[in-house]
Amino acid sequence: MTKPVILWLGNDLRTTNNAAFNAAAAAGEVICLYFLDDATPGDWKIGGASRWWLHRSLEQLSRQVKLVLRRGRSDAVLADVMRETGAQAVYFTRNYAPWSSALERRVKEACDRAGAACHRYGGYLLHEPEAIRNGAGEPYKVYTPFSRACFAAPEPKLPPSAKLLPWKGELKSDTLDQWNLLPKNPNWAATFEPEWQPGEAGARVALNRFMEDGLANYAEGRDRPDQPFTSRLSPHLHWGEISPAQCWVAIRSAAAQAGGATDASAEKFLKEILWRDFSYHILNHWPTLPTAPFRPEFGAFPWRSDDAAFNRWKRGETGYPIVDAGLRQLWATGTMHNRVRMVAASFLTKHLLISWTEGAKWFWDTLVDADIASNSASWQWVAGCGADAAPYFRIFNPVLQGEKF
Ligand code: FAD
């Protein structure tokens, strides 16, 4: 039997424009592996709402490729599969979470021990965090010059798509249901189902809808939580069901076709995609971002501990309509509009004086787009302790914000 190659899938749950997928496809018969690894991320194992998304996304992907599902520490399970199959190489997309570099090192060691090659690819971001440096050769701490440097860099290109030949051997796999990713008794995710279409096809639908109905109004309308002008692509981007390069190229081409009519909106949207890259840029260079303030002087901030107030915030019972609407929307749908995330986070950290780390943990469990870089960076931004953050004295007025937006 031919020795297979392994495609180790992570946050790149797509079959198109995926460099690791293409390279594996070109190398031989492929085993597509996904591991549910609750051990490696420590406190940051995938949260409840994201587990619902993951189930639905893997369900979709398994209609396109034969997936092998295993549970356990990724490097240990990968070593098992290499032993069971005699695989000659492992291909994967790079991840930037604080635990990823140690994990990727252990994976490389496991490959060395098994005599298999180990190939890592980019594609989760537009620009690798090391590729964008300021004049002194250091990472950026401020978004605007970072985004300027990105705009000046070569435009992102899409790797072509490839067809994959599955390995003909037999390998045992868990079933998705065995992982219990979907909530039961109560099924609080029932209200998520009509809101979202997880998976690669759903990501395409979201992008196309945005180009048809949202883009033209994005620059003006993106701050209006009552209007459907944002893309709702964040969970798809988080899970890699679509790449930021695919979004970038599509928006550039839509703007070119509109002959200048949507230029301001397109530019604004590309800048938002670059906020995602910036969050990863910061996380990659300051891996304590999820737990420690980027500005160390905030380490001594006297946050309050008030369970009753925190619970009222979580349930959307603060009495401030825009804050409460956001937190109830989060519970019912797994998302919250960006403007309302800012107002709700400001309310928690600046009115209730409860630490941003508490709010970030709640979002981690309840958002379908919960993302270690964007969530940590955004909470720190609102709290005033992050890179390029809103200053501590900038407090979103929840009444005026409700009236204005
Ligand atoms: P669009 O307006 O259509 O933007 C397009 C894309 O750009 C988004 O899909 C997203 O990938 C990226 N983007 C937009 N704004 C930001 C931003 N401020 N930072 C980083 N990337 C951005 N976003 C997450 O993806 N995951 C999180 O866990 C997360 N937590 C947040 C917590 C707080 C307190 C705040 C204030 C913001 C958070 N955001 C997070 C950023 C932002 O709110 C969401 O990305 C956005 O609301 C997603 O909706 P959309 O896809 O319609 O965005």
Range list of H helices, 115-215: 143-152, 200-209
Nearest to 10 by CA among 130, 133, 97: 97
Model confidence at 261, in pLDDT bands (50, 70, 90)?
Answer: confident
Q: Phi, psi (5° rounding) for residue 403?
A: -70, -40
**What letter does residue 5 receive in the DSSP assignment?**
E
Task: Evaluate the omega torsion of the peptide bond into residue 186 and state whether it is cis, within 30 degrees of 0.
Answer: yes
The one-letter code for the residue type at 385 is: C
Q: Distance, CA 75 to ligand 1 centroid (Å)? A: 31
- Give the burial string for 181-196 (b: 16+ CB within 10 Å, else e): bebeeeebbeebeeeb
Pairing of strands 5-9, 30-36: parallel
Facing residues of 6 across strands?
Answer: 31, 90
CA dihedral 61, 65, 68, 72 (to 10 degrees): -40
Polymer length of the chain = 405
Which numbered atom of ligand 1 lies nearest the CA of 214?
A: 3
SS3 36: strand
- Residue 260 confidence class, pLDDT cut points 50, 70, 90: confident
Which one of 378, 380, 394, 396 would you pick to mutate in the ligand 1 pocket, going by the greatest count of ligand atoms within 8 A of its CB?
Answer: 378
pLDDT exceeds 90 at position 121: yes
Distance between Cα 89 and ligand 1 center (Å): 35
Distance of CA 347 to the CA centre of its chain: 24
d(CA 73, CA 38): 7
Using an 8 Å Cβ cutoff, are 107 and 82 in contact? no
How high does pLDDT run on average in the chain? Answer: 96
**Is there an atom of ligand 1 within 6 Å of 277 CB?**
no
Query: What is the 16 CA–ligand 1 centroid distance (Å)?
Result: 23
pLDDT at residue 25, rounded to an integer: 98
Out of 338, 349, 357, give the residue to mutate to test ligand 1, the one with the largest number of ligand atoms within 8 Å of its CB: 338
User: 374 CA distance to ligand 1 centroid (A)?
Assistant: 7
Would you place residue 388 in the very low, low, confident or very high pLDDT band (cuts 50, 70, 90)?
A: confident
Q: Whose CA is nearest to atom 12 of ligand 1?
A: 273
Q: What is the pLDDT of residues 29-76, one digit of tens each?
A: 999 999 999 999 999 999 999 999 999 999 999 999 999 999 999 999
Q: How far is CA 120 from the centre of its chain?
A: 19
Ligand 1 neighbour 379 (Cβ under 6 A) = yes
Q: What is the pLDDT of residues 328-337, one digit of tens each?
A: 999 999 999 9
Q: Which two tokens stand for residue 384?
A: 């005033």
The first and second tokens of residue 192, run together, are 């998520």
How far apart, in Å, are the Cα atoms of 211 and each of 15, 265, 271? 22, 11, 16
Residue 234 CA, ligand 1 centroid: distance in Å: 6
Q: What is the pLDDT of residue 281?
A: 97
| Structure tokens given for 128 | 């690798």
Atom 42 of ligand 1: nearest residue by CA position: 338
Is-contact 82 118, C-beta < 8 A? no
Give pTM, 2 decimals: 0.98
1, pLDDT greater than 80:
no
pLDDT attached to residue 389:
79
Condensed to tens digits (0 to 9), the pLDDT of residues 129-175 reads: 999 999 999 999 999 999 999 999 999 999 889 999 999 999 999 99
pLDDT at 375 over 90: yes
> What are the pLDDT digits (tens) for 13-34?
999 999 999 999 999 999 999 9
pLDDT of residue 321: 98
Atom 8 (ligand 1): residue with closest C-alpha? 234
Residues 6+ apart with CB under 8 A from 307: none
Share of the chain above pLDDT 70, in %: 100
Indicate which atom in ligand 1 lies nearest the CA of residue 218.
2
Mean predicted confidence (pLDDT) in 109-113? 98
